[in-house]
Amino acid sequence: MLSHPAALHRTILAVDIAGYNDPGRTLADLREVHEGLWAVLKGTFAETGIPWDVCFVENTGDGAMILLPPEIAKVDLVAQLPERMHAELRRYNVVHSETSRMHFRLALNAGEVQQGGHGSVSKAVSFTFRLLDAPEAKAAQKATGAELALVASDTFYHDVVAEDPAAAPGDYRRIPVVVKETTTTAWLRLLGGRTTGPLVVEPVSVPEKADFPALVSALLAVPCVRNGESRRLVLEMLPRREIADLVPHHPEDRFHVIALARTCQRFDGGLADLLTAIRALEPESPQVTALAVIIERLSGEER
């Protein structure tokens, strides 16, 4: 009978070099960046007081996956590691050319991990790499030029980050994550770049006439509504189940959004409930702000 090692609860840290395969990097640049990755990681762990040799480390080519043992307190990790890693990145980047500089994306999660014959086996690890690939995090990092984009799973944020002021929970913002078969929410913190606060973007114009076509257009402008996978999550998060259950499904996105809007309009306060669900996924968005104005105008006209 085959025996396998038991799965253990581990803190999971996944890191990726943003733009690693940029066409502007030469082979010499890639070699320098690859060496720089490990120098920054080891320097960060040393500065944070985490022994490198107690961690399980896998090289992912353009990044790494690190499993920390249970005796390393998660709260100490998030209270110290982000700033230490950012400092190590700045030390590295200041003495390297533009094509050899590094920006990191870092994902934090925790869960059961089993060691197989050729590496780790874990749904939690796979989920962590989905967080690492979140388009919203990539876009925010690119827009701000942040040296470090830290993405924490929703559970990790609430159980660890939000429980300790030293972990700077107020510096995080909730983002939608729609990657492959994964649709969820996570928490993003940006360090460095042009801003470490909420992402500043150009305002979205609001139509003067608040009619149904304007409502549909505003809904389709919101990424978490336009995307079919995350729209299912919006439906799940509607405060009133009776509204979500009555929305007829259409395979074409626009028709499904129209059906969603029509159904919500049939209920007193239904559009406000829809806005609440959308804001839970995308609280800091100019598209959501524009949608809120239209819903407020429509609600005023109905009264």
CATH architecture, domain 8-191: 2-Layer Sandwich (3.30)
Q: What pLDDT shows up at residue 12?
A: 92
Return the structure tokens found at 235: 């439906």
Question: What are the sequence ranges of the domains in the chain?
Answer: 8-191, 212-302
Helices of type H across 191-285? 212-221, 223-226, 228-236, 241-246, 253-265, 270-281
pTM for the complete prediction?
Answer: 0.67
Q: What pLDDT shows up at residue 8?
A: 75
If phi > 0 it is left, if psi is from -120 to 50 it is alpha, else beta; for residue 198 that is: beta
pLDDT digits (tens, 9 = 90+) for 140-173: 898 889 999 999 999 999 999 999 999 999 999 8
Ranges of residues in the chain whose predicted pLDDT is under 70: 1-7, 116-121, 194-210, 283-284, 300-303
pLDDT digits (tens, 9 = 90+) for 24-44: 999 999 999 999 999 999 999
Reduced to 3 states (helix: H, G, I; strand: E, B; else coil), residue 67 is: strand
What burial class does residue 95 get, using C-beta atoms within 10 Å of its C-beta: 0-12 exposed, 13-18 middle, 19+ buried?
A: exposed
Residue type, 235: L
Q: What pLDDT shows up at residue 208?
A: 54
